[in-house]
Structure 1
Amino acid sequence: MQIGRKETVAVAVAVVLVVAAFVVPHLHLGIVTPLINASPARFQSFADTAPIFGWWKAHVGWGTPAAILIGIAAVMWGPAGAQRLPWRALVLVAWATSCAWAFSLAMIDGWQRGFAGRLTSRHEYLRQVPTVTDIPEALSSFSRRILDYQPDSWITHVSGHPPGALLTFVWLDRIGLSGGAWAGLLCLLVGSSAAAAVIVAVRALTDDATARMAAPFVAVAPTAIWIAVSADGYFAGVAAWGIALLALAVKQQVRVPLLVAGGAGLLLGWALFLNYGLALISFLALAVMATSVDWQTALRTLIPAALTAGFVVGVFFAFGFWWFDGYQLVQERYWQGIANDRPFQYWSWANLASVVCAIGLGSVAGIGRAFDIAAMRRSPGLRLLILGALLAILCADLSMLSKAETERIWLPFTIWLTAAGALLPPQSHRFWLSLNVVGAIALNSFILTNW
């Protein structure tokens, strides 16, 4: 097996970036550090394993053998199996594999620490759920409670997101599925379904063969470490299906494209009220629209999608929450917290190192092949998706509103980068898949991740 020049350069740059991001914090280079104005104890709490948010701790759990077995199976039989399975079966297998992979990685940390207790910490949504006794009142007063240092300020994660995130867990509680395990299960199921959504979108925008080659990379991507369980995994799943439905509609691969486009708009509109940063999913939506065969088809897709997304915005506005007010206030809240002590001089590039850790070197190698102009002209679909995700990440990075924890926060974008492995020569897939699997298990086993 020969490794091409483009993937060699991409991987070499990525390795240097990651090594630098882990080493620099211990060189005491002034503001080129993950945390300033910090005592040794505070540095250990918030930057011990920068650029990843967690703590150094070599550990195994009952999820370890399961993760190893799933990883081996994906490397040995994933590429061939993806070629043989009927399409609908492949979509379900990709989802099931991603779900099992994510759950097994979480179980390396144990049931309580790795799964059931993750969403019950003092800064998480579930701590706020019991205080929401009147949903309309919570929505109408939501913006007023975003800023910190008020008697009734929202807790950290609630204040940092639009109200859709909190509402999800309130509704879950109202139907009797309360507690961290049920919340974690929701995030796991929806987040892991992004694997299915990604290959559906890739097939719609390119072809069946490319989607099948992408499937193993997406199913056992290192992103699974943060999908199970964090609310951002749930956000990623919702946004991914919005993009997938948009792709099916714009390529006219469904019986009622207008209805599917409307469904895409509903999901993408809802995504806007889960995470302010998901406004950047518009780059992926534009990438999808750019593949339309003509402007009339694009317009027929865009109008129902925009109308249903606007409907979601209108409903929240009717209940007293205006997205732009929340976005302006959340920026103020952001700078009231630890963001002031996280220097951009480090995080502007270390954020990208966390992206490498999240997608794996196999996906990095694929990205190295994405910028082939001739190939983009022949088959732009997947390459445009990769470009859209990279542009979203670049804008998020330059905004200075995403400093640290981006391995989790940027999941809605990084999951699309995992499909880049499909651009690699098929004979090299097992090698690159094995690097991704080993990297994910090693990272999860040596770092006790915060999420």
Structure 2
Amino acid sequence: MTVTDARTRPDTAGTDARRWSRPGWIAVAVWAAGIAAVFAAGWHLRRAGVETEDLLPPLHARLRDRPLTWRLAPAVLVAALPWAAARLRWWTLMPLAWAGAALWAVALAASDGWDALAGPLNAPTEYPAGLAQVRPDPLEWLRTFTERLGGYTTHVRGHPPLPTLALWALEKAGLPGTGWAAAFIIASGTSAVVAIAVTLRCAAGERAARAAVPFLVLAPLALWIATAMDAFFLAVGAWGTALLAVAARRDRRPVPAVAAAVAGGLLLGSLPYLSYGLLPLFAVPLAVLLVMRPRPLVLAGIGAGLAVVPAAFTLLGFWWPDGVRATLDTYLISRGSAQRTYTYFLFGDLAVLGLLTGPAVAHALPRAAGTLWHAARTRTLPPAAVVALTAGAALLGVFVLDLSGVTKGEVERIWVPFAAWLVAAAAVRGAPPRGWLAAQAATALAVQALVLSAW
């Protein structure tokens, strides 16, 4: 395929908005009806005593006794910020986009009070509760991680050891406690807005990246940026992919390009050691590499970087396949996800993905699919098709996990590293209409007002 540079040729997929208007609205209707049907089915199944693990299936949450009102006012004010993005220079836009995403996530979470920012991390099931077992001897803890898995907290035993070690390292750096951990998660998770924008700029051009930024900032998934550890996973995957995209640019000199490739590979190589469910996320950087076709030297740098973390963990005594088997064993005998119904959550998990991405993405998906189909027929890749391809790769990863059955329930946090890339699909229409940005913000505000989440 030929990649069409947005700086030299028009985006043909963005010139026929009327053609995709009707399919887009049909997709929004399906989005809304599907979410409503899944919640209605969840209510019925819970009353029948089938789905009792969650108070508000398919979410691991409950309805608020009283909906939030005036406490959401700061979040409403923050939601107005991204509309000025088109007027800013690129290197001014990037830090402001990061700050805007952080403000949006914090404003939503703080509507429950400032304690809500670190509150989820104080639960006895979370990673910080397991740090006491790491402190005496981290290397011994890592060597015996698999054999002692059953004695750890829920989130520690449900993941590889790297997330817990990351919080231990934060503590050793002089930033102890869940307050600092929350700040670290929010700061890193919201920085993914910049990483995804940089990736799109390298692969699809600045115009496409600019169009995506407001949607990335106001994505409803911000509800689970503060404070689920999966926001950190999002950042690692997004920055790894961004570094690969930077390295793959043909105008880069060999030494900086290889350095970026090694760094990107290093980050991406850590993904399986953050969560076993992040393997399908590799579809996104693979799509970027297929589009950009980096030089062999860059590919060699990526390969070298990818090998570092697996080699280090193996040498230190943690064998990844053993960790997968041990985690699966504890998963099958525990309560929670293993007790949930596969058929219901097969559809319910996709409805939750719809909540994370919002109606603007639903409206854009038919157009994104049509753009990809046109690109395949003409063997060209206009910017909109590149954006659609990365979003499609993330959606493919979601489908793989959903069909596997190991992600039944609690996916509002698990989908975060995938959903952010899918949100970028809203940019295939070009400059973001204010109405769709408002719809994205309204979705997040409505969920926050009505639902009390564990994260």
TM-score, structure 1 as length reference: 0.90
Q: 1:89 aligns with which of 71, 89, 92?
A: 92
Q: Distance in 2 between matches of 1:386 and 1:210?
A: 13
Q: Distance in 1 between matches of 2:165 and 2:263?
A: 20
Match status 1:272 vs 2:275: no
| Partner in structure 2 of residue 5 of structure 1 | 22
| Partner in structure 2 of residue 121 of structure 1 | 123
How well do the aligned residues superpose, as a CA RMSD in angstroms?
Answer: 1.9
Q: Distance in 2 between matches of 1:253 and 1:233?
A: 32
After superposition, residues 342-381 of structure 1 pair within 5 angstroms as: 342-372=340-370, 373-375=373-375, 377-379=380-382, 380-381=385-386
Q: CA deviation at 1:306?
A: 1.7
Count, aligned residues:
426
Change over 3 Å in CA distance of 1:385–1:101 after alignment to 2: same
- Secondary structure class of the residue paired with 2:356: helix
Q: CA deviation at 1:335?
A: 1.4
Q: CA deviation at 1:300?
A: 2.9
Q: Distance in 1 between matches of 2:69 and 2:145?
A: 40
Match status 1:70 vs 2:75: no
| Partner in structure 2 of residue 217 of structure 1 | 215
Q: CA deviation at 1:425?
A: 5.2
Change over 3 Å in CA distance of 1:403–1:386 after alignment to 2: same
Q: Deviations over 1:12-48 (max 9, x none)?
A: 2211110111101222499xx8x73x7xxxx3xx422
Q: 2:241 aligns with which of 237, 240, 243?
A: 243
Change over 3 Å in CA distance of 1:127–1:207 after alignment to 2: same
Q: CA deviation at 1:185?
A: 0.4
After superposition, residues 113-262 of structure 1 pair within 5 angstroms as: 114-132=116-134, 133-146=136-149, 148=150, 153-252=151-250, 254-255=252-253, 256-262=256-262
| Partner in structure 1 of residue 281 of structure 2 | 281
Q: Distance in 1 between matches of 2:347 and 2:148?
A: 33
Q: Deviations over 1:388-420 (max 9, x none)?
A: 101100001011110111111111110101111
| Partner in structure 2 of residue 398 of structure 1 | 403
Match status 1:447 vs 2:454: no
Q: Distance in 1 between matches of 2:270 and 2:242?
A: 15
- Secondary structure class of the residue paired with 1:110: coil
Q: What is the letter of the counterpart of residue 56 of structure 1?
A: L
Identity %: 32
- Secondary structure class of the residue paired with 2:292: coil
Q: Distance in 2 between matches of 1:261 and 1:424?
A: 31
Q: Distance in 2 between matches of 1:303 and 1:277?
A: 26
Q: What is the letter of the counterpart of residue 35 of structure 2?
A: V
Would the aligned equivalents of 1:367 and 1:417 in 2 still touch at CA under 8 Å?
no
Change over 3 Å in CA distance of 1:91–1:397 after alignment to 2: same
Would the aligned equivalents of 1:187 and 1:234 in 2 still touch at CA under 8 Å?
yes
Q: Distance in 2 between matches of 1:185 and 1:191?
A: 10
Change over 3 Å in CA distance of 1:29–1:407 after alignment to 2: closer
Q: 1:55 aligns with which of 53, 57, 62?
A: 62
Q: Distance in 1 between matches of 2:291 and 2:99?
A: 29
Q: Deviations over 1:42-80 (max 9, x none)?
A: x3xx42222222111034388511100011333xxx2xx
Q: 1:436 aligns with which of 432, 440, 446?
A: 440
